[in-house]
């Protein structure tokens, strides 16, 4: 059997080239890993910015939803035109009693035709006189505004 005999210099050169190859390979691997890390860092920053944008969007949508939920009738203002202030106050009170049930209701769920049918051409009796209220305008909002006029239908006979 014949042994392969390599001179010491040749072995050292081969080992040296092998080590240089490992070092060059490690340097290229480090450079490539650095590029990948840089790309991942940039992607991470982009995703963080995207998360912040989405959180802001969620907050705006929640605020918008809360605003929409907050749109409930909180008060009713009744404006009634009639010459006699005492009768006008009585009529306002009666109309207010009729519409009191809509307080607390969602603004979007209120049917304006229903309110119109409750108030328009409604006849009230005050001190044995009959008055008719007519709905002129209706604004449904957090503070619902009802504009009405009244007219005397039948007056009590003063001789009685």
Q: Kindly report the number of other CB atoms within 10 A of residue 146's CB atom.
A: 25
> Residue 123 domain-assigned?
yes
Same domain, 50 and 93: no
Same domain, 87 and 148: yes
Q: How many Å apart are CA 13 and CA 15, to the nearest integer?
A: 5
Same domain, 44 and 85: no
| Sequence-ordered list of residues with C-beta below 8 angstroms from that of 78, at least 6 positions apart, any chain | 92, 95, 96, 99, 145, 146, 148
Identify the domain boundary among 23, 54, 70. Answer: 70
Q: Assess contact for 146 and 155: CB atoms under 8 A.
A: no
Same domain, 126 and 62: no
pLDDT in tens, 68-100: 666 788 888 999 998 888 888 899 989 988 998
Q: Kindly report the number of other CB atoms within 10 A of residue 86's CB atom.
A: 10
> Residue 159 domain-assigned?
no
Provide the domain limits for residue 27: 7-70
Q: How many Å apart are CA 80 and CA 85, to the nearest integer?
A: 10
Best-predicted range by mean pLDDT (22-26, 56-60, 75-79, 112-116): 22-26
Same domain, 50 and 83: no
> Residue 85 domain-assigned?
yes
Q: What is the pTM of this model?
A: 0.57
- Structural domain count of the chain: 2
């Amino acid at each position: 059997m014949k042994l392969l005999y390599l001179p010491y210099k040749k072995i050292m050169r081969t080992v040296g080239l092998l080590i240089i190859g490992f070092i060059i390979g490690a340097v290229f691997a480090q450079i490539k890993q650095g590029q990948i890390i840089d790309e991942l860092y940039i992607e991470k920053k982009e995703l963080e910015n995207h998360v912040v944008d989405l959180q802001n969007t969620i907050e705006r949508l929640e605020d918008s939803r809360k605003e929409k939920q907050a749109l409930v009738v909180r008060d009713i203002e009744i404006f009634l035109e009639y010459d006699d202030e005492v009768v006008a106050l009585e009529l306002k009170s009666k109309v207010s009693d009729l519409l009191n049930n809509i307080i607390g209701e969602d603004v979007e769920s209120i049917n304006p035709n229903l309110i119109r049918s409750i108030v328009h051409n409604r006849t009230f009796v005050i001190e044995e006189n009959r008055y008719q209220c007519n709905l002129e305008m209706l604004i449904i909002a957090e503070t619902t505004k009802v504009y009405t006029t009244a007219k005397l239908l039948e007056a009590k006979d003063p001789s009685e």
